[in-house]
Structure 1
Amino acid sequence: MKAESEKQTLKAESPELDQSSFGLSALSFNLKIGFDGKRAANNLTGLGNYSRSLIEQLATKYPKNDYFVYTPTVKSSFQIDTFFNNEHVKLKLPKNGSFLWRSFNIIKDLINDRVEIYHGLSHEIPFAIQHTKVKSIVTIHDLIFLRFPQYFKFIDRKLYEWKSKSACKRADKIIAISEKTKSDIVDLYGVNPNKIEVIYQSCDEIFKTPLAEIALNKIRLTYNLPKKYILNVGTIEERKNLKLIVQALKSVDNNYKLVVIGKQTSYFKTVEKEIAKLGLADSIIFLKNIPFADLPGIYQMATIFAYPSFYEGFGIPIIEALYSGIPVIAATGSCLEEAGGPDSLYVSPTDSAELAKAINKILSSTELQKDMKVKGLDFVKKFDSQLVTQQLMESYIELLKNSTP
């Protein structure tokens, strides 16, 4: 009865949003939705994957809408080219130069394109958008730069804080990607929690299909992967805490190697020193610039996924690992328990002995491995792309419904 009441209210308030049922009814919409596309059009990992996946899922599930992707530049790559080949995704470049376009001059384009909702996918929205008829949403992934300021340059930290705090103040709605991030927004920015909606992330669909053995063997040969390995994926930076895995590896069954995939930063030198100190050079393999299409196979052949990061806004690699049927060990202290669920294992990000104990616990029990895989796959259903996409569209609908006179 409640859903029917909401549907009737929606019809009465806004005839153009007349739907067959609230939420799922968005299939018959003809909305014009704009997105900050800088990451989608230029980043091949992280926020780029997040942005493309989100827009692609919306365009697939709700194809009657127009999806405008605003970006000052476009990088040429297979992933990005494929994204913009989607008939429902419309690339929008600046008409009069890109300088400060995303912050100011984009407003003219949004109005000219008759955009109804603008979604800032990463911490910012245009200034003065609140003075237009365009409804705005901003996604906040994390406030790590405030929780761990030592990992950021002073100027970068202040810029991130200024943009994100301003966006939270001016946006009509805030989407947080985890309960932990929502809590941080409330605590650090003093935002009313009623303005914030938690919508989890999923991962790319490519991680959700098991590869055939012949495909896995080809990937193994291509990268000379060992038969047994522990996997870690993520930028090699201090916050991600790779050094802890290296320290734990000294006390782990030496039949298992560590495979690390990620961009190297200056922190890599610290990791190298620890590897040399512990005599583990032959036990660790570093891979860089892995084609996206090969990443699922590398996950699927791993025995354990280890992710002892000090702090995350969510932890997409954990979702990728769970979909790949791999037991996960993560760190306590941020939101990783939200991503990994009750049947993954969690350790202190400062205790290498505890991490080694957790790894050995899994390696020593095939029954535990099977149990963690089954329960992990069951838990990760809550991050299904279809569900997340539906939640996001319902959020858009709700925003328009509440703003209709």
Structure 2
Amino acid sequence: MIVVNARFLTQSTTGIQRFATEIARELLRLRADVVLAVPRGPIDPRGLDETRIVRVGRLAGHAWEQIDLPLFARRRGAVVLGLASTGPVWYRPQVSTHHDVTWLRHPDSFGRRFRAVYGLIVPRLIDHSERLLTVSAFSRGEIAAHFGISPEKLTIVPNAADARFRPADDDAPRATERYLLAVSSPNAHKNFARMIDGFRRFSRAHPDVELRVVGSQTRSFARQEYDASDARVRFLGRVDDAALAELYRGALAFVFPSLYEGFGIPPLEAQQCGCPVIAARAASLPEVLGDSALFVDPYDVGDLAAAMARIVDDDGLRARLSDEGLRNARRFSWRTSAERVSRVLDDVVAETAPRSREPHRVGL
């Protein structure tokens, strides 16, 4: 049996929870031996097969992960699969996922309690996992270097964009408002302060263009404050996927100036909607986006402003980046990524279970 640590269904959806949800969704379709274990109490099933969600124990949060979850898995002789960075530190056999080490590279983006919990859990979880998953070659190198492990222990399982993010229908009305779009939690490493400064420089010659910012901070992150006095910078908060897809489709371009990303799902979502992308030449973004984006120096406000002006003023550039972005987004698939996870699980089952036990595959 494979027991997925599905505590992510009790959390708000950010990039990590999106990855966990979509990989779990595909694994349920691929394998008959997978169940999702969750704490008792309210959850958001996110369209997952609720007949395979099992409520376990009486605790919550990290205590549930360290006590109730491993007890449940141990009684069933199961492999535990963690998809969201934390898990039972002493349980074996286990496969755990580590998306990046942003909390180490940019500690100013995170609260003290978050850093302390990760500092206790993550090194021990890495030590006690049979296999490790991560989302990019960049993150594999960062994790291996920091924790002193072989990169061969880490399997790359890329993110993807949901099928709900797609270009506008040919007969759909075109947006009449002119705006640039940014999507992220506004934490220090997301580089929003420089982006806003760059936009204000850009807007001196483009007063008819707005900057719309989607997202909000969670309790895990250190609070960042920005000057919201400019009426052309609109903070929209959280929106659902349908509204987000419409924003991508209507935007002149998507701006992603982040200093550090293990992968970065929002640029792929934008590309899959046909929206051209401006991205930081930093961390994993050149790996994920290849030649399909207009790259900038994320520390250079002038470069950010110039890129905004270039993409807004050049219809041909926007059309080319839209086409290249659509091609780039097709490189990634939740099903393909889940198949990689399934093969890792088969390897761990074969190494830890009796020889007579066969892998449980459906549709592979």
Please confirm whether the aligned pair reaches a TM-score higher than 0.5, indicating the same fold: yes
1:145 aligned residue (80, 103, 110): 103
SS of corresponding position for 1:205: coil
User: Equivalent residues in 2 for 1:144-293 (5 A)?
Assistant: 144-208=102-166, 210=168, 227-252=177-202, 253-264=206-217, 269=225, 271-272=226-227, 276=229, 281-293=230-242
Q: Is the 8 A contact 2:276 2:293 kept in 1?
A: yes
Q: Is the 8 A contact 2:17 2:84 kept in 1?
A: no
Q: Is the 8 A contact 2:258 2:280 kept in 1?
A: yes
CA distance in 1, matches of 2:33, 2:2: 6
Q: Is the 8 A contact 1:181 1:313 kept in 2?
A: yes
Structure 1 window deviating more from structure 2 (174-183 vs 121-130): it is 121-130
1:283 to partner: Cα distance: 1.1
User: Equivalent residues in 2 for 1:61-76 (5 A)?
Assistant: 62=30, 64-75=31-42
Q: Is the 8 A contact 1:230 1:305 kept in 2?
A: yes
What residue is the counterpart of 2:47 in the other structure?
83
What is the identity, as a one-letter code, of the residue corresponding to 1:180? F
User: Equivalent residues in 2 for 1:336-355 (5 A)?
Assistant: 336-355=285-304
1:127 to partner: Cα distance: 3.1
CA distance in 2, matches of 1:212, 1:231: 22
Q: Give ranges in structure 1 of 5+ residues lacking alignment.
A: 1-31, 221-225
What residue is the counterpart of 1:57 in the other structure?
26
1:73 to partner: Cα distance: 4.3
CA distance in 1, matches of 2:169, 2:76: 42
Any idea what the Cα deviations from partners look like across 1:10-62, whole Å, max 9, x if unmatched? Answer: xxxxxxxxxxxxxxxxxxxxxx32111111233233332222111112223x1
> Percent identity, aligned pairs only?
22
SS of corresponding position for 1:197: strand
What is the identity, as a one-letter code, of the residue corresponding to 1:33? I
CA distance in 2, matches of 1:212, 1:67: 41
Q: TM-score, normalised by structure 1?
A: 0.79
User: Equivalent residues in 2 for 1:371-382 (5 A)?
Assistant: 371-382=320-331
- Choose between structure 1 and 2 for higher RCO, CA contacts under 8 A separated by at least 6 residues: 2
Q: Is the 8 A contact 2:166 2:274 kept in 1?
A: no
Q: Is residue 36 of structure 1 aligned with residue 5 of structure 2? A: yes
Q: Is the 8 A contact 1:53 1:203 kept in 2?
A: no
Any idea what the Cα deviations from partners look like across 1:311-359, whole Å, max 9, x if unmatched? Answer: 1111111111111111111112311212222221221221111011112
CA distance in 2, matches of 1:160, 1:97: 19
CA distance in 2, matches of 1:375, 1:199: 22
CA distance in 1, matches of 2:248, 2:320: 18
Whichever structure has more helix as a proportion of its residues is 1
What residue is the counterpart of 1:297 in the other structure?
246
CA distance in 1, matches of 2:329, 2:58: 45
SS of corresponding position for 1:203: coil
SS of corresponding position for 2:18: helix
1:268 to partner: Cα distance: 5.0
SS of corresponding position for 2:9: helix
2:88 aligned residue (120, 126, 134): 126
CA distance in 1, matches of 2:33, 2:170: 37
1:335 aligned residue (272, 284, 296): 284
Q: TM-score, normalised by structure 2?
A: 0.87
Q: Is the 8 A contact 2:5 2:36 kept in 1?
A: yes
Any idea what the Cα deviations from partners look like across 1:93-113, whole Å, max 9, x if unmatched? Answer: 233444722113322211334
What is the identity, as a one-letter code, of the residue corresponding to 1:108? L
CA distance in 2, matches of 1:193, 1:82: 33
CA distance in 1, matches of 2:253, 2:157: 27
Q: Is the 8 A contact 2:86 2:125 kept in 1?
A: yes
1:403 to partner: Cα distance: 4.4
Change (3 A) 1:82 1:354: closer
CA distance in 2, matches of 1:125, 1:228: 45
Aligned residue pair count? 347
What residue is the counterpart of 2:348 in the other structure?
399
What residue is the counterpart of 1:5 in the other structure?
none
1:260 to partner: Cα distance: 0.6
SS of corresponding position for 1:206: coil
Change (3 A) 1:227 1:71: same
What residue is the counterpart of 1:103 in the other structure?
66
What is the identity, as a one-letter code, of the residue corresponding to 2:103? F
CA distance in 2, matches of 1:97, 1:182: 33
CA distance in 2, matches of 1:44, 1:156: 17
CA distance in 2, matches of 1:48, 1:156: 16
1:389 to partner: Cα distance: 2.1
CA distance in 2, matches of 1:327, 1:74: 41
Q: Which has the larger radius of gyration?
A: 1
Q: Is the 8 A contact 1:303 1:326 kept in 2?
A: yes
SS of corresponding position for 2:39: coil
CA distance in 1, matches of 2:87, 2:14: 21
Q: Is residue 313 of structure 1 aligned with residue 262 of structure 2? A: yes
1:114 to partner: Cα distance: 4.5
CA distance in 2, matches of 1:208, 1:394: 29
What residue is the counterpart of 1:17 in the other structure?
none
Q: Give ranges in structure 2 of 5+ residues lacking alignment.
A: 356-364
Q: Is the 8 A contact 1:206 1:293 kept in 2?
A: yes
Any idea what the Cα deviations from partners look like across 1:358-381, whole Å, max 9, x if unmatched? Answer: 122222222111111111111122
SS of corresponding position for 2:201: coil
